Amino acid sequence: MLVKLAVLFSGNGSNLENILEKLHKKSFGKNSFEVVLCLCNKKEAYGIQRALKFGLQTVLIEHKNYESREDFDRALVKEIQKSGADLAVLAGFMRILSPVFTKNIKAINLHPSLLPLFKGANAIKESFESDMKVAGVSVHLVNEELDGGKIIAQKAFEKDDNMKYEDFEAKIHALEHELLPQSIIKFFDE
């Protein structure tokens, strides 16, 4: 089966590029994957350049151009549905989504902590500064609750007491790059 993916991002786009390298136009088992939509909400996002390396144009829908969260989400839903995507992948998409989105789009989100701990935008810093001896990343289904959907995959590592923040953050990103493509493949295997 051809699985069509929409990838939503807001910034650097390293997870977008990772998906493009590992899944785009590749087959795993009975499924082939294709990124049919790259969608971003910030015109200065570096991820737009990353998509171009794969010959993909990014659709820009800037949230600041909409009166309400719901109006923005309606624009997202329309674009994702138009693309025919089977799954929307939130890969560093820094927007809280309303039921207008969550009730109409099947989506997963990559989050840089072991949920349900450290929800929201400062997860890496909060996880690093915590007393926890492990840290990691999660992939979860998207619902109305911020970082609150059913967890579908996690990877963890032990924190080293002498670890610098930069090394911690690099380890988080390395795990993200492993877990997200694996989770997408597994999502369609089941």
Strand partners, 39: 8, 59
Whether 140 sits among the annotated catalytic residues: the reply is no
Whether residue 96 is annotated as binding a ligand: the answer is yes
15 in a labelled binding site: yes
Tens of pLDDT, residue by residue over 37-63, are 999 999 999 999 999 999 999 999 999
pLDDT tens digits, 146-171? 999 999 999 999 999 899 999 999 99
The model's pTM is: 0.95
Would you list the domain boundaries of the chain? 2-111+138-154+179-189
Q: What are phi and psi of 110, to 5 degrees?
A: -95, 130
Evaluate if residue 106 carries a pLDDT over 80. Answer: yes
Mean pLDDT of 14-40: 97
CA distance 87 to 4: 7
- As a whole number, mean pLDDT of residues 68-87 equals 98
Q: Is 18 annotated as a binding residue?
A: no
**Are 3 and 17 a contacting pair, CB within 8 Å?**
no
Q: Does residue 14 have a known ligand-binding role?
A: yes
**From 24, 63, 111, 177, active-site residue:** 111
Residue 119's pLDDT is what? 96
Q: How far is CA 46 from CA 13, 61, 102, 169, in A?
A: 6, 15, 26, 19
Residues of the chain above pLDDT 70, percent: 99
The highest-level CATH class for domain 2-111+138-154+179-189 is alpha beta
